[in-house]
Structure 1
């Protein structure tokens, strides 16, 4: 009680009193600025400050953006052909995926949403591993028990994705706090869309991180749409960045289609959260060019010319390519070879993944209990009897 009283007195002492009644405005008079390095034509904006990047890293960023773009196209087509059950793309958000990943280290722990496969790609997840997961074969780390695109990889510090919105945010703060307690030279980063900022877990996580001073980067992909709900119908605030500020968290708004800006902002944010043990909030403004998923038709709720404008005039891959070309690091011949080789490698990975057996039936009942309880034992026995009784109703490549 004495401690609480002292805290309250300390707060009151710091207050500035006024005899005038004044209500704060519901929104600031000026919008929070958006950090940018490259203009739409790939030129460095005069006077811009950014993290210097060497040729090797610069080229890997571009190569991985192209790989991600190609992977999205081919896996999307595979779903449309009925070869996999579900998929969603990161088209238009390649810079967010790859450039943010490049700014981190392998010791940093990633808690993603479902539109960050590029972070995993950057960390070394192979095209074969992506294909194995999406086809749910015996080499899939999820053992066929997750839907496609719910990637996860322990060796790469990339926690398994789940679809419910914003559940990973409080978990990420807990991870960050554990890194702080263990005095690790690392941070946690969690990705989420603008729709997640309307969920309770978002607010709990930000307050949790601010109060406990956890080394975490909150990375919001404000791509304009939460499935079919535009941001104008989600909140009245100046985007999402101001929500970080409201919780006492240092925040920045960045052009999410500018790879250099994303890289620089996340690199600086990482240094802050680790050296100062304080959270940082990053809002990346971008646009979801693709449909929300293969279960969605976005042309039902937004105009085609809007989608086309962002696909062409504001494409982050093309913008970044112009910059590396101006540096003399890229040309059309190298581009053609890259796209051709990535496509060949991915198609080969898909053929291998499609031919591999599915996980054995017993894998449905593992990885939860050290010793299976009686109800699971009964369920497994019942399932095996059902498969033997009606083999024509079950895939022949599933080991019994």
Structure 2
């Protein structure tokens, strides 16, 4: 028997939990069904609307990058169900620790379009105030957000709070030491943290089969962490799975691990060319499992989505896209001295010296000889050493 180079193989089989099939049919799942028994027609339409809107955000942002308005953009095309299903299972006081791709999650947490795009346009170092949204700003360093989420969750236990943290990560991140250290601490201290892995099958150009020869969700039980593998293109199943994990966290059950099996239909970032490492047939295969198409089919067949509702959803997506484009183009350039803001919590002498050097450097462009003559002496390796010795 031969195996696809990018599909996990091995003897550790797992059940792929699902509630809506790729062709839009509702199926039963004894594990997940109890966690969505309260979902009504309006909630189902809202989930679909969220996915339509964030796909439009993705398309508009990709277009803005191609037009030179953004330096970079990390597409989330194909992963809408994983992002929407998981974030809509959270409470407002739960804290989210994302990667750089969870811009759909940020939208649902209330981030403005300007805050979402500032990082990618280069006008700010962060996206939003984490404490306003209960969501950390985008993390570029692969896997490190799992450490932050676990530490935060341990703090929740010490403070006696019932909220939780959730760490988003990709399949490639599961090969990082930070992730494994996080799971060790989370299990040891029964921290209320959800490890939400979006297995989109590619860690840039490396297939998931090189990351793990068994299902990724099968790794977590080795640390004493219960896990579920769920169809990541099924928004209702993802919602149920995340509710399952959230219930465990809130009732003293400790950490959980979810592997949402999905697919990155777009590029890793707009600087990437995925045609160099994956075939057309693979993209066609996953295109048939599109999360938006299956949810629309389910809703239409069940009589839960009519032309009027679809028109309203399209209008909402248009409005968000227009807001996004306007916010992006009109983002103000940052003040040069703001580069020194929010570096340390407290004042730091080295940063103070750097700030004054840079202030004098900027002043030199005003043609002021006074500013140049009063500029601090440049720091040489010798003077830096002497400064430390004193």
Give the TM-score, by structure 1 length.
0.82
Match of 1:64 in 2: 50
What displacement does 1:124 show? 2.0
**Unmatched 5+ residue regions in structure 2?**
1-8, 368-390
2:96 — aligned with what?
Answer: 110
Establish whether residue 317 from structure 1 lines up as the match of residue 292 from structure 2: yes
For 2:343 and 2:112, the matched residues in 1 are separated by 27
Q: Which runs of 5+ in 1 are unaligned?
A: 1-26, 138-143, 390-400
Give the aligned partner of residue 13 of structure 1.
Answer: none
Residue equivalent to 1:163:
140
Contact 1:180 1:277 in 2 (8 A): no
Report whether the alignment pairs 1:294 with 2:294: no
Residue 31 of structure 1 is matched in structure 2 by 13
How far has the Cα of 1:239 moved from its partner? 1.9
Q: Is the contact between residue 70 and residue 339 of structure 1 (CA under 8 Å) also seen in structure 2?
A: no
User: Are 1:241 and 2:227 counterparts?
Assistant: no
Give the alignment's Cα RMSD to 1 decimal: 2.1
Alpha-carbon contact 1:109-1:187 (below 8 Å) kept: yes
- Relative distance call for 1:248 and 1:47 in structure 2 (3 A) is closer
After the TM superposition, list the runs of 4 or more consecutive aligned residues in structure 1 that deviate by more than 6 angstroms: none
Among 71, 78, 83, the residue aligned to 1:85: 71
Check conservation: 2:53, 2:320, Cα contact below 8 A.
Answer: no
Give 1:40's aligned residue: 22
| Superposed displacement of residue 340, structure 1 | 3.9
* Secondary structure class of the residue paired with 2:219: helix
Give the drift of 1:123.
1.9
Q: Contact 1:289–1:307 (CA<8 Å) still a contact in 2?
A: yes
Aligned match of 2:372 = none
CA contact (8 A) 2:115 2:128 kept: no
Q: Does the 8 A contact of 2:113 with 2:323 survive in 1?
A: no
Whole-angstrom CA distance in 2 between matches of 1:355 and 1:87: 18
- Measured after TM superposition, the shift of residue 280 of structure 1 is 0.6
Farther-moved stretch of structure 1 (350-359 vs 182-191): 350-359
Q: Are 2:239 and 1:259 aligned?
A: no
Q: How many angstroms does 1:288 deviate by?
A: 0.8
Among 181, 189, 203, the residue aligned to 2:158: 181
Partner Cα separation in structure 1 for residue 169 and residue 219 of structure 2: 14
Give the superposition deviation at 1:152.
5.8
Q: 1:80 to 1:152 in 2, by over 3 A?
A: farther
- Which secondary structure state, in structure 2, belongs to the residue aligned with residue 90 of structure 1? coil
Asked if structure 1 preserves the Cα contact closer than 8 Å seen for 2:220 and 2:226, the reply is yes
Q: Cα–Cα, structure 1 residues 135 and 66, in superposed 2: closer, same or farther, change >3 Å?
A: same
Please identify, of 41-50 and 60-69, the stretch whose mean Cα deviation from structure 2 is larger.
Answer: 41-50
The C-alpha deviation readout for 1:203-229, integer Å capped at 9, x for no partner, is 111111111111111111111110000
After superposition, the C-alpha distances for 1:94-145 in whole angstroms (9 at most, x for unaligned) are: 00101111111011111111221222212222334434554455xxxxxx12
Deviation at 1:366, TM superposition (A): 1.4
Q: What is the CA deviation profile of residues 338-368 of structure 1, one whole-angstrom value per residue up to 9, with x for unaligned ones? A: 2244224422442244234212122111123
Contact 1:152–1:161 (8 Å) recurs in 2: no
SS in 2 for 1:335: helix
